[in-house]
């Protein structure tokens, strides 16, 4: 009666112990990933106080992407996720990300120092977004497919959340808006600290064997598997479009005059709606995938998303504001709906002894692609305005062709 219980039993089903575990993890993910685009929600403030240009905003976004790539590779190939509890990694990463984000808001004085803090935020996010998936597996291994769609939906909503903070804080200085994301990340850390790890994964210890190159799976061998290669190529095309689109959204809203047409929402409110609809797209895609399969959902979303990009590039000047906003909302829903489905296809296709490392390599390559697309798109936007979205169209085209050709050759 007096013994203290240290953790959940290893054999009991997670549902019987924490019915709301997946919801708690998803909420923590939402709050933690609000750090990702916290700087993009205050673009106007950065332009005024730092003299930042459109290209500088792209640089700040890329700093996060590069930090995330580095953190993901360190986490996966360094074996950290196998030697420490997932909940501990998540909590430490969320607290560190909150601190670095506060540094960006309160200490950074220009784009260069700001980029350094944003890189550290990206490094911290590698312990939030991927580790959230491991936490879900530890609590509900029988719901991974649906949970993956939910997790990406929360990442999307977390991306949009700083724009909501900006739209609801009125005339507050931009520093306070960014700091608000740090507060949310701290709440996310507290939620996971209270929840802990689930019972369905072995508890790692610090004495666990460090990764040895002689025993490490050859992760690049996954690309020799046609089904994995097809899913990866589709994912890479998707990534060319996704983060550049998210970075462009507030600029598109301002440059197309939508903010003036809908002053009650403004740039921040409209940006939240456009990006936030992606969460609904992920959830709907997850449901649809159980009926028609992940491949059809992923390819369908990628094709339609590319069509939306063409529509905006061609008609942004001629469409009535209501129709242009509707097109952007549809694009926002479709642009990320394929992400969890491509990841699910890759996870099912790669070698069983290299699942985590293969997906880490795929994610690293995908986020490296976003650095190039963000840099080029922002530079082109600074020159020609909204017509720069033409640069996003090759992503869906190459993704669909790559998936089709690689899949066909594997038959």
Rounded alpha-carbon distances, angstroms, from residue 137 to 20, 284, 392? 14, 21, 34
Q: Report the CATH architecture of 18-202.
A: Up-down Bundle (1.20)
Task: Compute the 3-state secondary structure of the chain and give helix, strand, coil in percent, each to the nearest 5.
Answer: 80, 0, 20
Give every CB contact of residue 7 below 8 A, 6+ residues apart in sequence. 196, 197, 199, 203
* pLDDT for position 77: 73
- Helix 54-77 × helix 111-125 angle, to 10°: 30
CB-count exposure of residue 55 (10 Å: 0-12, 13-18, 19+):
middle
Whole-number pLDDT of residue 279: 94
Residues counted in the chain: 411
Of 360, 353, 350, 336, which is closest to residue 126 (Cα–Cα)?
360
Per-residue pLDDT of the chain (411 residues), as tens digits, is 444 444 443 333 434 446 588 889 989 999 999 999 899 888 888 999 999 998 899 999 999 999 999 998 887 777 676 678 889 999 999 999 999 999 999 999 999 999 999 999 999 999 998 888 778 777 776 666 677 788 889 889 988 988 888 888 767 789 998 999 999 999 999 999 999 887 876 665 555 445 444 444 455 677 778 888 999 999 999 999 999 999 999 999 999 999 999 999 999 999 999 999 999 999 999 899 889 998 999 999 999 999 999 999 999 999 999 999 999 999 999 999 999 899 888 878 877 666 666 777 888 899 999 999 999 999 999 999 999 999 999 999 999 999 998 765 555
pTM score of the predicted model:
0.83
Helices (H), 201-265: 226-255, 258-261
Sort residue 320 into left (φ over 0), alpha (ψ -120 to 50) or beta.
Answer: beta
- Segment 50-83, tens digit of pLDDT: 999 988 999 999 999 999 999 988 877 776 766 7
**Residue burial 144-162, b: 16+ Cβ < 10 Å; e: rest:** ebbbbbbbbbbbbbbbbbb
CA distance 121 to 138: 26
Q: What percent of the chain has pLDDT over 70?
A: 85
Question: Where in the sequence of the chain do the CATH 1.20.1250.20 domains occur?
Answer: 18-202, 218-411
The listed CATH number (3.40.50.300, 3.40.50.700, 1.20.1250.20, 3.40.350.10) that belongs to domain 218-411: 1.20.1250.20
Q: With contact defined as beta carbons under 8 Å apart, do 219 and 380 qualify?
A: no
For the chain, how big is the Rg over CA atoms in Å? 21
Of residues 91, 95, 126, 89, the one with CA closest to residue 203: 89
- As a whole number of angstroms, the distance between CA 283 and CA 319 comes to 29
């Amino acid at each position: 009666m007096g013994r203290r219980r240290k953790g959940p039993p290893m054999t009991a089903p997670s549902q019987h112990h924490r019915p709301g575990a997946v919801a708690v993890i998803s909420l923590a993910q939402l709050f933690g990933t609000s750090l990702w685009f916290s700087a993009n929600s205050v673009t106007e403030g950065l332009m005024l106080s730092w003299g930042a240009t459109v290209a500088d905003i792209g640089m700040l976004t890329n700093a996060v992407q590069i930090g995330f790539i580095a953190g993901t590779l360190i986490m996966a190939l360094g074996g950290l996720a196998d030697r420490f509890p997932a909940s501990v990694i998540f909590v430490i990463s969320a607290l560190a990300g909150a601190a670095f984000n506060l540094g960006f808001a309160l200490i950074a004085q220009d784009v260069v120092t700001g980029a350094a803090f944003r890189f550290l935020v990206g490094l911290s996010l590698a312990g939030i977004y991927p580790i959230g998936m491991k936490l879900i597996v530890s609590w509900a291994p029988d719901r991974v497919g649906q949970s993956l769609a939910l997790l990406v939906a929360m990442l999307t909503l977390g991306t949009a959340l700083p724009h909501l903070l900006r739209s609801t804080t009125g005339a507050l200085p931009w520093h306070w808006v960014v700091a608000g994301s740090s507060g949310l990340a701290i709440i996310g850390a507290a939620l996971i600290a209270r929840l802990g790890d689930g019972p369905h994964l072995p508890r790692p210890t610090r004495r666990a064997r460090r990764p040895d190159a002689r025993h490490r799976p050859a992760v690049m061998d996954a690309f020799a598997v046609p089904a994995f290669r097809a899913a990866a190529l589709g994912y890479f095309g998707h990534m060319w479009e996704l983060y550049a689109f998210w970075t462009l959204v507030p600029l598109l809203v301002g440059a197309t005059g939508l903010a003036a047409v809908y002053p009650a929402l403004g740039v921040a409110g409209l940006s939240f709606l456009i990006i936030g609809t992606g969460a609904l797209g992920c959830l709907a895609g997850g449901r649809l995938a159980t009926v028609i399969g992940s491949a059809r959902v992923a390819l369908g979303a990628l094709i339609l998303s590319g069509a939306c990009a063409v529509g905006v590039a061609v008609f942004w000047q001629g469409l009535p504001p209501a129709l242009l906003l509707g097109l952007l909302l549809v694009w926002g829903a479709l642009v990320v709906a394929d992400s969890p489905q491509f990841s699910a296809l890759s996870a099912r296709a790669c070698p069983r002894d290299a699942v985590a490392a293969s997906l880490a390599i795929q994610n690293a390559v995908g986020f490296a692609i976003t650095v190039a697309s963000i840099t080029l798109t922002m530079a082109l936007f600074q020159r020609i305005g909204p017509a720069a979205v033409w640069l996003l169209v090759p992503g869906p085209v190459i993704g669909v062709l790559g998936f089709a050709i690689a899949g066909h050759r594997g038959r």
